[in-house]
Amino acid sequence: MNQREAELISRCQKGDQDALKEIFDQYHQKVYRIAYGVVRQREDALDIVQEVFIKLYRSIQNFKGRSKFYTYLYRMTMNTAIDHARKMRRAPPSNIHEEEGFQLSEDVEKSPDRILLHKELEERVRVALGKLPVDQRTALILREVEGLSYQEMAEVMGCNIGTVMSRLHYGRKRIQEMLKGYLKERREE
More confident: 144 or 109 = 144
Q: What's the pLDDT band for 170 if we cut at 50, 70, 90? A: very high
CB neighbour list of residue 162: distance below 8 Å, 6 or more residues apart: none
CATH of region 96-189, choose from 3.40.50.300, 1.20.1250.20, 1.10.3720.10, 1.10.10.10: 1.10.10.10
Q: Report how far residue 51's alpha carbon sits from residue 126's, in angstroms, rounded to the nearest whole number.
A: 26
Answer whether residue 96 shows pLDDT above 50: no
% the chain with pLDDT above 90:
22
Mean pLDDT of 108-127: 68
Answer whether residue 119 shows pLDDT above 80: no
Answer whether residue 99 shows pLDDT above 50: no
Helices 161-188 and 150-157 sit at what angle, rounded to 10 degrees? Answer: 110
| Per-residue confidence (pLDDT) for residue 31, from 0 to 100 | 92
CB neighbour list of residue 174: distance below 8 Å, 6 or more residues apart: 128, 131, 132, 136
Spatial CA neighbour of 96 closest among 122, 121, 62: 122
DSSP 13-72: HTT-HHHHHHHHHHHHHHHHHHHHHHH--HHHHHHHHHHHHHHHHHHGGG--SSS-HHHH
Answer whether residue 78 shows pLDDT above 50: yes
Answer whether residue 142 shows pLDDT above 60: yes
CB neighbour list of residue 164: distance below 8 Å, 6 or more residues apart: 139, 150, 153, 154, 157
Q: Domain residues of the chain, as ranges?
A: 1-90, 96-189
Topology (CATH) of 1-90? Rna Polymerase Sigma Factor; Chain: A (1.10.1740)
Answer whether residue 94 shows pLDDT above 60: no
Answer whether residue 93 shows pLDDT above 80: no
Answer whether residue 98 shows pLDDT above 50: no
| Per-residue confidence (pLDDT) for residue 18, from 0 to 100 | 92
